[in-house]
Amino acid sequence: MKSDLPKVLHRAAGASMVRWVVRALREIGAGPIVLVIGHGADLVRQEFAGDDDLRFALQSEQLGTGHAVACGLTALSPEEARRDVIVLCGDGPLVRGTTLAALMQAHGRSHAAATLATSRVPDPTGYGRIDRDERGRFRGIVEHGDATEAQRRISEINPSVYAFRGEVLGAALPRLGRANAKGEIYLTDVFSLLLADEHAGRLASPAVEVVAAVPPEEVLSVNTPEQLAEVDRILRARGAAAGGARA
């Protein structure tokens, strides 16, 4: 982002990116909301000073998304950690509360251990691809860096919008490995692990529900100033006025 400011604190349409994400969670009554913080942790805390429905979990080492979620769970009480858990990225400010509501409705109907919201986009570069078998059944998520050329042509992607049964998620995270191109702990490996548990009879069906709930216009995450400008344009087109967005 060509800045020392934590990426999630860059502003779009009058509010920081992470505040837009928090706003969407609040729209559906989700809580407590846990922000996993690392670089610029104090600045993120300052951004939400006085917001008593937020908690913070420090990820002192950047070991991947699975590790980040494990850190986040430590901010929950044992009772809270057994409830349904929504996991989102702080640099995806376009997600709407209506999309999260659709995710949770599908999660509740299916009684799945985990529910994954997918999207189809014209250019899937950089996103994890949804791997399906010849019958169209979900097999797992392949990160862009680990994907074959054929898999990189898949247009159905993972926009990182998830729901989990908390007790299942908490038990699965310690079992994740780091055998991938980045040597990181991928949260996305939880889905393949749960499917394997279902096939082995260790987990009741359905282990994983997949729902096409994320419109393409909500997918864009921000990694460059140009992408931030595009997100700003989209949010303003939704009717947000500069300085008028308040979670």
Q: Is the per-residue pLDDT at 243 higher than 50? A: no
pTM value is 0.91
pLDDT at 24 over 80: yes
Residue that wins the pLDDT comparison between 29 and 39: 29
User: In which band, very low, low, confident or very high, does the pLDDT at 43 lie, cut at 50, 70 and 90?
Assistant: very high
Question: In this predicted structure, what is the pLDDT of residue 13?
Answer: 93
Q: Which residues pair with 76 in a beta bridge?
A: none
pLDDT higher than 50, residue 117: yes
Contact between 191 and 137 (Cβ < 8 Å): no
| Helices 97-110, 17-27: inter-axial angle, 10-degree rounding | 50
Is 80 exceeded by the pLDDT of residue 245?
no
| CATH code linked to domain 7-237 | 3.90.550.10
Instruction: Give residue 242's pLDDT band: very low, low, confident or very high (50, 70, 90).
Output: very low
pLDDT score at 221? 79
pLDDT for the residue numbered 180: 86
Which pLDDT does position 136 carry in this prediction?
92
Residues 129 and 157 sit within 8 Å (Cβ to Cβ): yes
Reply yes or no on whether the pLDDT at 28 is more than 90: yes
Q: What is the mean pLDDT of residues 150-157?
A: 96
Q: Tell me what the pLDDT averaged over the chain comes to.
A: 93
Q: How far is CA 178 from CA 66, 146, 185, 186, in A?
A: 10, 12, 5, 7
pLDDT, average across residues 164-181? 94
Residue 68, burial from CB neighbour count under 10 angstroms (0-12, 13-18, 19+) = buried
47-95 tens-digit pLDDT: 999 999 999 999 999 999 999 999 999 999 999 999 999 999 999 999 9
With b for 16 or more beta-carbon neighbours within 10 A and e for fewer, the 26-42 pattern comes to bebebeebbbbbeebbe
Answer whether residue 12 shows pLDDT above 60.
yes
How high is the pLDDT of residue 241? 39
Q: What is the mean pLDDT of residues 20-36?
A: 97
Per-residue pLDDT of 206-234, as tens digits, reads: 999 999 999 998 998 788 999 999 999 99
pLDDT at 101: 97
